[in-house]
Amino acid sequence: MFRMLGMYSVVFFLLVLQIRGDVRQEALQNKNMFGGDMAGGINVPRISNSTDGPVMAFVPNTDYKLWTGGVLYYEYDATATRNDQVLSAAIQEIHDKTCLRVYPRNGQASITSYVRITTTEPGCWSYVGMKTTGSQQLNLSVSGCWYVGTVIHELLHAFGFNHEHQRYDRNTYVTIQEANVEAGACWSYVGMKTTGSQQLNLSVSGCWYVGTVIHELLHAFGFNHEHQRYDRNTYVTIQEANVEAASLHNFALVPLAESTNVDNPYDLDSIMHYGAYAFGKVDATTNLRLQTIFVKSDPARIMKEPYDLTSLSAGNVREIQAVYKAECPAVGGNTPAPAAKKLARLLPDIVQLLRRLLSIME
């Protein structure tokens, strides 16, 4: 009997996830942002509105690049609601498995390129890559974004990574049910801004999950969505009839010429890949969200959302190490050794201790 109740509980949980109003999903589906959570940056097209809906244009962007040395600095905005536990878990996952490093800025004026974490705007979003002209925003709203998987997702955007489901070969592996997609708030710029700070938005509503934070941090590191890879259609089918018309642009493919091509296989487990019901229309009769992404090799598979995850996939790790190999020469594209990981964990404490010793000596 208890086993049957457990089974029904799982079914009920899966149904609840499809019901309109899941704040975690909606927080990653922001209108007029590329892929729903990328505000700009490396290989992110400009989106403008027309009478026919959103229009995208890929234009050169020299303000963003990969983070120097693979190190991303951050600080909370003065108005932000802090969630150090989730943020620390997301950062630890990145430190444990990749050469990337995320450290607090601690108000150091000499660090001019850094991520400013906000929570007051709707949604979870980031810029992609490092802004070279100042700070950049990464927003994680208090409700919906603060999950480990979401935070990792946005951090990887900040590091410069795009969505897996927007790869050029996506449609080979999954199907996007476009008729089920609805219009869509966690977002980031992609890559490092070269002229100052950049915003990474994790709104109070829907963003503070470890997976969402990782997702947005990876955007900030310069990574795009996996489901927008140029080869996406080889692996998934986008059921366009299930996608709300105003959100179809979120499944646009990133051309090969605009991609960071490291010959990594399409990654269905990527924290940068959206889930099965992303941007799905809501059925008026059942009030359930329609499925939009179908895996070609396993049509029954229900893809997870970034906020359902708490760790990087093996494919995420390989791509990060490959893309940042030149910026992290010490690890040579390999996963850090245990001793190196322990040293990285202790480094902030060592720096603080040295500062205290210097202040005493003065």
Residue 215 labelled as part of a binding site: yes
**Alpha-carbon torsion angle 345, 145, 276, 254, nearest 10:** -70
CB atoms inside a 10 Å sphere around CB 304:
18
Residue 341: both structure tokens together = 């990981």
Determine which one of 75, 93, 154, 216 is catalytic.
Answer: 216
Which ranges of the chain would DSSP assign to H, the alpha helix? Answer: 2-18, 23-26, 84-97, 148-158, 210-217, 314-323, 338-361
| Residues 120, 123, 126: CA angle, nearest 5 degrees | 95
Burial of 357 (0-12, 13-18, 19+ CB in 10 A): exposed
CA atoms within 13 A on the CB side of 46: 6
All residues at 6 or more sequence positions from 308 whose CB lies less than 8 Å from its CB, including other chains: 147, 149, 211, 275
Residue 219 labelled as part of a binding site: yes
- Give the gyration radius of the chain's Cα atoms: 19
How many helices and strands in the chain, by DSSP H and E? Answer: 7, 16
**For residue 239, what are the β-bridge partners?**
177
Using an 8 Å Cβ cutoff, are 217 and 157 in contact?
Answer: yes
Answer yes or no: 258 catalytic: no
End-to-end CA distance of the chain: 71
All residues at 6 or more sequence positions from 4 whose CB lies less than 8 Å from its CB, including other chains: none
Residue 37's alpha-carbon distances to 110, 191, 194, 281, 329, in angstroms, are 29, 13, 20, 18, 30
d(CA 35, CA 279): 10
Strands 71-76 and 115-118: parallel
Using an 8 Å Cβ cutoff, are 198 and 50 in contact?
Answer: no
Any idea which residues carry the catalytic annotation? 216
Binding residues: 215, 219, 225
Binding-site residues for Zn(2+) sit at: 215, 219, 225
